[in-house]
Amino acid sequence: MDQVTYQASETAAARDVRELRTRGERMLELATRAYCEQHYDFARLLTQLATEVFAHARDVEESDSLRAAPIARRLRPRQR
């Protein structure tokens, strides 16, 4: 039963990441259109929002991969 729950949450996280990235891409498309129509403030705002959405998608993806990682890997310090 635990495996089924884990798989369901894993696919939910992957689906969330996919949705966030799709929305970010749409925002960038709108930003491009706004820029072409010389609405530079809106283009800049949409670009900033898309950047935040992509960062959030990355955070969700990383938190999901950390949750799925073995405990030994979670405790190991990050190398830069």
Give the number of domains in the chain.
1
Q: Report the pLDDT value the prediction gives residue 2, as an integer from 0 to 100.
A: 53
> How far is Cα 26 from Cα 73, in angstroms, rounded to an integer?
35
pLDDT of residue 31: 98
> Treating both helix axes as pointing N-terminal to C-terminal, what angle do 2-36 and 40-68 enclose, rounded to 10 degrees?
160
Give residue 46's domain range.
Answer: 2-75
Domain presence at residue 80: no
Q: Does residue 6 surpass a pLDDT of 60?
A: no
Overall pTM > 0.75: no
When pLDDT is averaged across residues 2-11 and rounded to a whole number, the result is: 58
Q: For residue 29, tell me if it sits in a domain.
A: yes
pLDDT 10s digits, 11-69: 788 899 999 999 999 999 999 999 999 999 999 999 999 999 999 999 998 887 766 65
Cα 68 to chain center, whole Å?
17
> Is residue 41 in a domain?
yes
